[in-house]
């Protein structure tokens, strides 16, 4: 499921020029289990902070290819490890047993998994 702010007029016009064109949109929209978050690719791809993106004018009104929808848990992991985990690892990371692990232990496992 996608947060309502992304589907409102403010969300679609403020963040992206075509929200339905963002990678993983259909999956995010139809998922009934996880909340998906919109992620700026350049935060990790180019190592830019939200503040730097805003200063450069690259934070809002973006074309869909500059963004990606990620499940909230994957989004948090991406910021922790500095890149978006490989798609083939998402099922492991989203498994209810993995998510139930104490966060420090889970994060140490994620680092060891070299995603």
What is the domain extent for residue 62?
Answer: 4-113
Q: Confidence class of residue 3 from pLDDT cuts 50, 70 and 90? A: low
**C-alpha dihedral over 66, 39, 111, 94, to 10 degrees?**
-120
> Each residue of 36-50: pLDDT tens digit?
888 888 887 888 888
Q: Record the pTM.
A: 0.77
Query: Exposed, middle or buried by CB within 10 Å (0-12, 13-18, 19+), for 76?
Result: middle
pLDDT score of 92: 84
> How many domains, in total, are found in the chain?
1
Q: Confidence class of residue 65 from pLDDT cuts 50, 70 and 90? A: very high
* DSSP tag of 24: T
The number of residues in the chain equals: 115
**Per-residue exposure over 8-28, b if at least 16 CB sit within 10 Å of its own CB, e if not:** eeebeeebbeebeebebbeeb
């Amino acid at each position: 499921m996608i947060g309502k702010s992304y589907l409102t007029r403010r969300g679609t016009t403020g963040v992206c020029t075509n929200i339905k064109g963002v990678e993983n949109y259909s999956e995010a929209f139809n998922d009934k289990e996880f909340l998906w978050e919109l992620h700026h690719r350049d935060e990790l791809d180019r190592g830019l902070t939200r503040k730097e993106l805003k200063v450069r004018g690259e934070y809002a009104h973006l074309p869909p290819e500059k963004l990606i929808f990620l499940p909230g848990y994957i989004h948090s992991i991406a910021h922790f490890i500095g890149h978006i985990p490989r798609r083939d690892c998402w099922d492991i990371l989203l498994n209810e047993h993995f998510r139930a692990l104490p966060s420090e232990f889970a994060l140490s496992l994620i680092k060891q998994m070299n995603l």
